[in-house]
């Protein structure tokens, strides 16, 4: 059995330890589980509208493995953690839009998944397209949360990508990817 060693604490433990820090309020922890038989999720790319990448996305998520990333707000600002995370697999990609805003009186939390037919650059244009322009379809789903937990899923590249997001100050998004048969 393969064993992995890490000198760092597990990310959820680090997140809990830092929960009292200003920058971790309005953070977004993303965990991606690859339940496919033969697809490798690689070349992560990010576009950050607000905040920054605290823990870089796992560079390669093999079948049967998990990857993670942590996005946090910039301390001392009245802004949340907002951006896009993209992974490629073969000639396909999927993108996650996340938004954990600073002021819940003005904005809601948002989570969106997009599996474009043709890969797109992870940039301000993709962020704007996912946040404002795309309509619900087999390839795009968007969730707005004010409390509780929400789920959404899309299809693309012969996989189903499902996500669950909780509406908390330190939010988490769990993504599970499986093959379509």
The CATH number for 154's domain is 2.60.270.20
Q: Is residue 56 part of a domain?
A: yes
Residue pair 61/41 in contact by the 8 Å Cβ criterion: yes
Q: Is residue 15 part of a domain?
A: no
Taking only the tens place, the pLDDT of each residue in 117-151 is 999 999 999 999 999 999 999 999 999 999 999 99
Q: Is residue 156 part of a domain?
A: yes
Q: What is the rounded distance in angstroms from the CA atom of residue 102 to the CA atom of residue 70?
A: 16
Q: Is residue 82 part of a domain?
A: yes
Give the range of the structural domain holding residue 29, as residue numbers without chain letter: 25-179
**Tens of pLDDT, residue by residue, the chain (181 residues):** 444 433 344 555 555 555 455 557 789 999 999 999 999 999 999 999 999 999 999 999 999 999 999 999 988 888 999 999 999 999 999 999 999 999 999 999 999 999 999 999 999 999 999 999 999 999 999 999 999 999 999 999 999 999 999 988 889 999 999 999 8
Residue pair 77/71 in contact by the 8 Å Cβ criterion: no
Q: Is residue 9 part of a domain?
A: no
Q: Which pLDDT value is given to residue 63?
A: 98
Q: Is residue 89 part of a domain?
A: yes
Domain count for the chain:
1
CB atoms within 10 A of CB 20: 8
Q: Is residue 4 part of a domain?
A: no
Q: Is residue 5 part of a domain?
A: no
Q: What is the largest CA-CA distance in the chain?
A: 50
Tell me the backbone φ, ψ of residue 6, rounded to 5 degrees. Answer: -140, 135
For the entire predicted model, the pTM comes to 0.88
């Amino acid at each position: 059995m393969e064993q992995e060693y890490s000198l760092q604490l597990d990310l959820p433990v680090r997140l809990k330890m830092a929960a009292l820090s200003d920058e971790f309020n309005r953070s977004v922890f993303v965990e991606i589980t690859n339940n496919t038989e033969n697809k490798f999720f690689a070349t992560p790319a990010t576009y950050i509208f607000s905040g920054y990448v605290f823990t870089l996305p796992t560079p390669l998520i093999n079948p049967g493995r998990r990857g993670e990333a942590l996005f946090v707000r910039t301390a001392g600002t009245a802004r949340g953690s907002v951006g896009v995370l993209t992974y490629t697999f073969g000639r396909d990609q999927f993108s996650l839009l996340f938004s954990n805003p600073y002021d819940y009186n003005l904005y809601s939390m948002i989570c969106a998944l997009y599996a474009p037919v043709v890969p797109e650059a992870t940039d301000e244009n993709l962020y704007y397209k996912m946040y404002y322009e795309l309509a619900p379809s087999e390839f795009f789903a968007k969730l707005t949360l004010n409390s509780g937990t929400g789920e959404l899923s899309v299809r693309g590249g012969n996989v189903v990508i499902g996500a669950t997001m909780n509406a908390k100050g330190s939010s988490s998004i769990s993504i599970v990817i499986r093959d379509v048969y």
